[in-house]
Amino acid sequence: MASVVLADSALPRSWRQSATSRLLANVALVVAGSLLTALAARVSIPLPFTPVPITGQTFAVLLVGAVLGSRRGAASMALYVAQGLAGLPVFAGGKAGLAVLLGPTGGYLVGFIAAAFVTGWLAERGWDRRPLTTAVAMALGNIAIYLFGVPWLAAFVGIERAPLLGLVPFLPGDALKIVLATLALPGAWWIVRRVNPAAL
């Protein structure tokens, strides 16, 4: 349970003195994770042959899951999706609304919640203590995104084309994002330990 213990111990003592303070701190961390994902979604490169763009979201999703743990990580991604559904332009390319969730890329958005949970669950069990196991945890979280995203995409492009349009072209980029997220994890902990959660 490394991530949960570290995240909780990283909070200022005053935030840990009451259940209300602890709740507020957790809410701040969850909101911060959703905002990081929204910021990463600004990195969006459309591809002419598929409705799925290259984005920075995967990097943020996996990093947030590793930092916040399973429950808070999943809550952060659920909040991110809710922000987009509410009309905030937080999805890839500045998009928003129910049409995005019901469209070809909607499965990937749902998969973000599962990915953060999986990555966080493994981090809580010590997989975030070494770079290699951190990368493996994030890779498994990334698989969770595809388990939701590719079948959803298949409903629009057909089951035969879905892996070619929604999986294969993104594997090299996702591998790079996993490496970058793994390298960024110590820095993320440094920030969480030193920044008041209310300011995140």
User: Which of the four pLDDT bands, split at 50, 70 and 90, describes residue 199?
Assistant: very low
Quick check: is 198 in a domain?
no
Quick check: is 200 in a domain?
no
Provide the number of structural domains found in the chain.
1
Quick check: is 118 in a domain?
yes
pLDDT at 195: 52
Quick check: is 76 in a domain?
yes
CATH code where residue 173 lies? 1.10.1760.20
Quick check: is 145 in a domain?
yes
Quick check: is 66 in a domain?
yes
Containing structural domain, residue 122:
4-193
Q: For 130-171, write each residue's pLDDT tens digit.
A: 999 999 999 999 999 999 999 999 999 999 999 999 999 999
SS (H, E, C) the chain: CHHHHHHHHHCCHHHHCCHHHHHHHHHHHHHHHHHHHHHHCCCEECCCCCCCCEECHHHHHHHHHHHHHHHHHHHHHHHHHHHHHCCCCCCHHHCCCHHHHCCCCHHHHHHHHHHHHHHHHHHHCCHHHCHHHHHHHHHHHHHHHHHHHHHHHHHHHCCCCHHHHHCHHHHHHHHHHHHHHHHHHHHHHHHHHHCCHHHC
Q: For 22-69, write each residue's pLDDT tens digit.
A: 788 888 899 999 999 999 999 999 999 999 999 999 999 999 999 999
Quick check: is 39 in a domain?
yes
pTM for the whole thing?
0.87
Does residue 17 carry a pLDDT above 50?
yes
Does residue 193 carry a pLDDT above 80?
no
Does residue 5 carry a pLDDT above 50?
no
